[in-house]
């Protein structure tokens, strides 16, 4: 895949994961308004642990792999929309 194609695929996946989050959590934000690098917890999007469980379930259903609550990488995976989309890109089975 060329750099342009991979950049386009990454941007498409980022938008898709943002849409999934907005739908799973019934957020008032438009998916396109979510800063891909803003923290998902606290000052950024303001999600809590229950929200993250909802997102993990939606991601598991959509992309065919488990996000486990006991994974030591969760802090990194759920740091931002971009880090979550990168993780999905590496582990998706569908």
CATH of the domain at 26: 1.10.1200.10
**């957020």: which residue's tokens?**
27
pLDDT at 43: 82
* Counted domains in the chain: 1
CA distance 82 to 14: 6
> How far is residue 13's CA from residue 7's CA, in Å, rounded to a whole number?
10
**The model scores a pTM over 0.75:** yes
pLDDT at 1: 58
Sites in the chain below the pLDDT cut of 70:
1-2
Range of the domain at 69: 3-91
């Amino acid at each position: 895949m060329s750099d342009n194609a991979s950049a386009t695929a990454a941007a498409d996946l980022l938008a898709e994961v943002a849409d999934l989050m907005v739908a799973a959590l019934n957020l008032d934000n438009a998916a396109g308004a979510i800063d891909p690098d803003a923290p998902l917890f606290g000052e950024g999007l303001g999600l809590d642990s229950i929200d993250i469980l909802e997102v993990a379930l939606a991601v598991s259903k959509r992309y065919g792999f488990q996000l486990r609550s006991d994974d030591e990488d969760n802090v990194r995976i759920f740091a931002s929309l971009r880090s979550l989309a990168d993780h999905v890109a590496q582990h998706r089975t569908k």
